[in-house]
Amino acid sequence: MTGAIIHIALLTVVLAVPDAGTPARGSGADGGASVKLSARAEVEAALSKAGGPAELTRLATTAQGALIAIASDRAASETLRSRALSALAYARNLRAQTFLENFIVGKTPPLDATDRVLIRHAVVALGWQGDPRLVETVAPLLDNADSDVRLDAAIALGLGRTRSAEAPLRARLATETDGAVRRQIEASIKAVTAPR
């Protein structure tokens, strides 16, 4: 419970920091709301084009607030939300890490197909972050009923290359029945135990 409170407190503090890529509110009649709305619309348009790593990196550095807003917006399409979560992998900062951690914790266990897709994107994005709480946040998903969620949890733990991921990966390997998940767990164990 304390961990969840810390996550929520950190998210509140981190989300209060202004986004470097979002223009400040103006002094116009709408208080600058149209500027914010057009910035989000531009990010949505860029995400809809499914750009490559260079475009995702640009979005992560210039429009992180919009990416977080889109990923959190239940009215946005699953595809758009998934791409926003994937783009956050390129942010590599505390704000993105905290958001991804809280997103994963809030969607665990995933209740429907959309939650499963979103959590998979968030987990892999967090793996790329090299987050210090990666194992604590992601390892419980190794026991998820959905094999795709388990697969992406194993991928994320391997990406993080945190030695503490070895124990939960080995524990899951002992009981895993899905061949693809087993192979990924084995690859992830190699990644986390490789000499640095």
Query: What pLDDT, in 10s, does the model give residues 41-55?
Result: 999 999 998 778 999
Low-confidence ranges of the chain (pLDDT < 70): 1-37
Identify the CA nearest to 86 among candidates 113, 47, 114, 131.
Answer: 47
d(CA 111, CA 119): 11
Per-residue pLDDT at 116: 95
Quote the pLDDT of residue 131: 83
- Residues with Cβ within 8 Å of 68's Cβ and at least 6 positions away in sequence, in order, are 15, 84, 88, 95, 96, 99
Residue that the structure tokens 């986390």 belong to = 192
pLDDT per position as a tens digit, 116-125: 999 999 999 9
> Cα(155)–Cα(181) distance, rounded to whole angstroms?
9
The predicted pLDDT at position 36 comes to 56
Per-residue confidence (pLDDT) for residue 38, from 0 to 100: 83
Give the pair of three-digit tokens for residue 60: 């992560």
Instruction: Report the pLDDT value the prediction gives residue 111, as an integer from 0 to 100.
Output: 85
- Note the pLDDT of residue 196: 79
Of 124, 182, 133, the closest CA to residue 158 belongs to 124
Q: DSSP H helical segments within the chain, as ranges?
A: 2-16, 33-48, 53-62, 64-72, 78-87, 94-106, 113-129, 134-138, 147-160, 166-173, 179-193
Please work out, in degrees rounded to the nearest 5, the angle formed at the alpha carbon of residue 166 by the alpha carbons of 137 and 154: 55
pLDDT attached to residue 50? 73
